[in-house]
Amino acid sequence: MRAAWTRRHRLLPGLLALACLATVAVAAAVPLTTPPARAADPVLVLDATFEDGTTQGFRARAGETVAVSTAVAHGGTRSLLASGRTASWQGPALALIDGMVEGTRYTLTVWVRLAAGQSPGQVRLSVQRDSGGTSAYDQVVGDTAVSADAWVRLSGTYVLAHDVDGLSAYVETASGTADLHIDDFTMAYQPTRPVQTDIPALREVLAADFPIGAAIGNRQIIGDQAVLLRRHFDTVTPGNALKWDATQPTEGAFRWADADTQVGFATDNGLAVRGHTLVWHQQTPAWVFTDTDGTPLTSDPADKALLLSRLEAHIRAVVGRYGDAIGVWDVANEVIDENQSDGLRRSRWYEISGLDYLRTAFRVAREVAPTARLYINDYNTNVPAKRDKLRDLVTRLRAEGVPVDGVGHQMHVNVQWPSLAETEAMLQAFIPLGVEQQVTEMDVSIYVNNDESFPTPPADRLLTQAYRYRDLFALYRRYADELTSVTLWGLADDDTWLDTFPVARKDAPLLFDTELQAKSAYWGIVDPTRIDPTPTPTVSPTVSPTASPTVSPTPTPTTGPDTCRAAYTVTNQWPGGFQASLRITNTGVRAHHGWTVRWRFPDGQLISQLWNGTVRQDGPGVTVTPTSWNSALPAGGTVEFGFLASWHTSNDRPVGLTLDGLACTTG
């Protein structure tokens, strides 16, 4: 049965404790610099310059030589040279076990250069974690070009999200055994900004539409990340922990630690879980497709039977372990290849078994988890050719009785692509099939091709991204009857798979920034009027100066007229659509609790999305009621909400505007 969800955290309560720990543990090896003047400055925990002539705690990972060198230096006169390497993974390593606190985000920086005479290559910065006799490797900075002619800076962030008994940072090469220098290694942390509690929770904003989810790893379920996750999301998808390479790396030897921890966190916190994924052509160990003596399996009946029995055993184990805790499974992932005339990806699964791997996977998953919703998930489902091939496959499988309940659209998109029309066509294409649909892995890259790379996200890209989130979520909300959830592939920009895919560069594709603060992208969904539209200052419209009213304290009258004022503004209009805001001021003397605002549109305008309120539209009649955070409207107070709507021949102002049945003056 399910393991006990236990987890030991080593989180220390405050930064002071952290600074003390760092001082005590690390000072012996590497000098600690003076604490920062301002709390917001990064705190330098380690600083290895090798200027004192020692390796400052750096050691070889295996048999290579690591020694101080004066041949080249990034700063001062010394660096560290790793020579005599016999494998690409060998290189200088520094133990961090006592200096790094679980759940705190550190920036690791090091300068690297190949030794004179070595041909150019690629280097990367990684962290090795050891626990219970096994090691795991996390990339901090991906493969980066380096030569013997110049220093290159590797800098990335890392959060220790596991209990470990060994931990070290190291520099290695992507291939080859070139001698290499490192210099000026630093480890610093940025005191975190508190998770915002004065902004609406996404899950409340979207409550009437669909559950909202985030992909997670161990890093998202501790510290501030966990606070942010619980606050805004309804569901989680373990991003890697349930994949085959994580759960059954060798035949019959299952590893549950990460999956148990993440599913356990979700269960304990009332979050639903999407199980991702049972059959995929990636992150599947080689043993699955080879026989016991290492020969690749073929489509012979015996080999095919072996493959399908492995698949069945895997699904029985993984799905069986989590039972009701996982209500949705991506049974199959990325099986479509639109460039094949039959649309079927030529994966090892397909080559050995034809379509039987899909038939087996869905049948067994249904048997083990009869109430779970079973999905087929893919990327680029907005591309018409791919979409149609997927639709054909789903139609075919369902006609055979294969229990495919839903289609998952990954939605790894960018600030330019795809168009809204194509995305809408994607959703529409599957409606006639009678399947559920979910958006399963959404992120919006700031990059539009593989050649771009920005050290920090440019303001105009973030703005465009905010509009993309606004428009795509407005579309999703219009299709809320079809979509049973929307999941983002990550929680915040501090940890996104796009930092290393398709190339290594910092991306910022999510709703919260690297400091876990709400981006304009978040406001694009929650309240587009709060998107910061002015990355560069623009001339604001001239308004005639008005004297500020003199406020003299007056006792609040308890009797008097009950009146209201409504200010309606169309903030943006384009062919077929517009954005507007409505500001209601309670000019009367009594407070309105749980207010209702009503009006009629004279020209058939139709609202597609409204923020800061809940909308119902019945023909021309519109009714708006508050959300949980703006239901009180005191005397003298205002509420403001905004919306996106369509219009056709004309777009005249609302008529018959009332607050709790009371006609409001306009202007």
42-to-152, 188, 192, 589 alpha-carbon distances in Å: 22, 6, 10, 51
Which of 112, 483 has the CB closer to ligand XIL?
483
Min dist. Cβ of residue 263 to ligand XIL (A)? 16
Which of 172, 334 has the CB closer to ligand XIL?
334
String of b and e for 483-497 (b: at least 16 CB within 10 Å)? bbbbbbbbbbbbbbb
Min dist. Cβ of residue 463 to ligand XIL (A)? 26
Among residues 146, 126, 148, the alpha carbon closest in space to that of 137 is found at 126
378 flagged as catalytic? yes
Q: Which two tokens stand for residue 641?
A: 């909400």
Residues forming contacts to ligand XIL in the complex (CB under 6 A) are 239-240, 333, 410, 441, 497
Q: Which two tokens stand for residue 444?
A: 């919006």
Which of 380, 579 has the CB closer to ligand XIL?
380
338 flagged as catalytic? no
Min dist. Cβ of residue 507 to ligand XIL (A)? 12
Question: Exactly one of 64, 224, 260, 378 is catalytic; which is it?
Answer: 378
CB 394 within 8 A of CB 430: yes
Which of 182, 315 has the CB closer to ligand XIL?
315
Min dist. Cβ of residue 381 to ligand XIL (A)? 12
Min dist. Cβ of residue 297 to ligand XIL (A)? 24
Question: Exactly one of 183, 184, 441, 494 is catalytic; which is it?
Answer: 441
Question: Residue 560: exposed, middle, or buried by beta-carbon count in 10 A (0-12, 13-18, 19+)?
Answer: exposed
For every residue of 603-623, which 3-state class applies, written as one string?
Answer: CCCEEEEEECCEEEEECCEEE
Question: Exactly one of 184, 209, 334, 443 is catalytic; which is it?
Answer: 334
Which of 211, 238 has the CB closer to ligand XIL?
238
| DSSP-derived pairing of the beta strands 606-611 and 638-646 | antiparallel
Taking the C-alpha atoms of residue 396 and residue 384, their distance in angstroms, rounded to an integer, is 18
For every residue of 202-260, which 3-state class applies, written as one string?
Answer: HHHHCCCCCCEEEEECHHHHCHHHHHHHHHHCCEEEECCCCCHHHHCCECCECCCHHHH
Taking the C-alpha atoms of residue 322 and residue 330, their distance in angstroms, rounded to an integer, is 14
Min dist. Cβ of residue 239 to ligand XIL (A)? 4
Fill in the DSSP letter of residue 32.
P
Which of 104, 410 has the CB closer to ligand XIL?
410
234 flagged as catalytic? no
Taking the C-alpha atoms of residue 438 and residue 409, their distance in angstroms, rounded to an integer, is 6
CB 81 within 8 A of CB 50: no
Taking the C-alpha atoms of residue 107 and residue 127, their distance in angstroms, rounded to an integer, is 12
CB 207 within 8 A of CB 169: no
Cα 243–248–2 angle (5° rounding)? 85
Q: Strand (E) positions, 405-476?
A: 406-409, 412-414, 436-445
Min dist. Cβ of residue 314 to ligand XIL (A)? 16
CB 143 within 8 A of CB 124: yes
Which of 69, 247 has the CB closer to ligand XIL?
247
Taking the C-alpha atoms of residue 20 and residue 233, their distance in angstroms, rounded to an integer, is 35
CB 5 within 8 A of CB 261: yes
Radius of gyration over every alpha carbon of the chain, rounded to an integer in angstroms: 29
Which of 135, 596 has the CB closer to ligand XIL?
135
Main-chain dihedrals φ then ψ at residue 647, nearest 5 degrees? -145, 165
Min dist. Cβ of residue 590 to ligand XIL (A)? 53
Min dist. Cβ of residue 120 to ligand XIL (A)? 26
Which of 442, 531 has the CB closer to ligand XIL?
442
Which of 44, 439 has the CB closer to ligand XIL?
439
Ramachandran bin of 106, using left for φ above 0, alpha for ψ from -120 to 50, beta for the remaining angles:
beta
Residue facing ligand XIL at closest CB distance: 497
Min dist. Cβ of residue 380 to ligand XIL (A)? 11
H-type alpha helices, 27-86: none
Question: Residue 406: exposed, middle, or buried by beta-carbon count in 10 A (0-12, 13-18, 19+)?
Answer: buried
Catalytic residue set:
334, 378, 441
